[in-house]
Chain A
Amino acid sequence: MIRKITYTIFLSIIVATLILFFVAFPFGKNKMGVGKYYLNNDIKQTGAANVVTAVTLDYRGLDTLGEVTVLFAAAAGVSILFYLIDQDKKKRERQVYPNFIVRVGSRIIFPFILLFGSYIFIHGHLTPGGGFQGGSIIASGFLLLYLAYPGERVNRKKLAVTEGLAGLTFVVFGAIGIFTGAHSFLFNFFPKGTLNMLFSAGILPILYIAIGFKVGSEFAGIIDDMMCQTVCGGEK
């Protein structure tokens, strides 16, 4: 009963907010504030063709560093929680092995998934996409391997080293900005280049490559923690 009353109260709040939205933020109207500044000054200040990348990495780069830190904390939390389960005797489940075509096909397709993910995060400043999307595509490639070969796992130490080096790259390239030019963290100190070329936009491609490796290895670690509870029987 009390749940229904609570839900009714929340529902009325939602309906009131919807009416407020219809009045205050009309759909499809141009109501940009700071977005207009970003759009007008993007080419001059960052040189990136994709304005979303410029906002994510240049104007709000510190937020992205915080976000990657939150992602790392969540991955560490998942790892710790599954380690707590792991303490007990693991009961052996019936394993289902996939057939020949799935195994060979996944072996053929896996390098192409890695290539596609790398393509997406290398061209993050030119086309839609970037480190987060490319990293998660790479992690889904690892997921394919886990589904095709139950009982085997990736090397967690190498994943951790990749993740640490990627995070270090981000912080180091941000810290170089303190000592050059504008004396600010994540200052874009490289030459901007010409618009729509691969080597343009200063340090943004380097930062996005670092984010791609970091997100890919973190999600691969989460998938490894979860799959190895059910599927693979190997020791850590």
Chain B
Amino acid sequence: MIIVSWILIIIMIVLAILSVQFKDLLAAVVAMGAVSLIISLLFLLLQAPDVAMAEASIGAALTMIIYIIVVRKTERREK
């Protein structure tokens, strides 16, 4: 569990920094969804299956679609 959580947290931090730094907003949004998915895996490692299900279905699916619709309604590049 220790090694798995180390690997997952390092991937999560890299993805979070990428999602802030990407110039392409759609790529940033997809990286944000990946961060949510990894956080739901971490909740599973922390013995919280209820929270993991909520995060996977709300944080990674519904939130992503809200972001994607906003990017589509506005503009895609960050100037």
Q: Which residues of A contact B (CB under 8 A)?
A: 50, 52-53, 120, 128-130, 132-133, 136-137, 139-140, 143, 219, 222-223, 226-227, 229-230
Contact = CB atoms under 8 A, between A and B. Distances in A.
A129 B69 contact: no
Contacts of B69: 226-227, 229-230
20 contacts: A52-B50, A128-B50, A128-B52, A129-B53, A130-B50, A133-B50, A133-B53, A133-B54, A133-B57, A136-B62, A140-B57, A140-B61, A143-B62, A143-B65, A219-B62, A222-B66, A226-B65, A227-B69, A229-B73, A230-B69
Contacts, number: 44
B72 interface: yes
A222 B61 CA distance: 14
A129 B72 CA distance: 32
Given A128-B53, A133-B54, A230 B65 contact: no
Nearest to B53: A133
B20 interface: no
B72 A230 contact: yes
| Chain B at the A interface: SS class | helix
Contacts of A222: 66
Interface in B4-48: none
Contacts of B72: 230
Given A129-B50, A133-B50, A223 B62 contact: yes
Contacts of B50: 50, 52-53, 128-130, 133
A130 B48 CA distance: 13
Given A219-B62, A226-B66, A132 B73 contact: no
Contact of B73 (A128, A143, A230): A230
B5 to A, nearest CB: 11
A139 B73 contact: no
Closest CB pairs A-B (n = 6): A128-B49, A133-B53, A136-B57, A226-B69, A52-B50, A136-B58
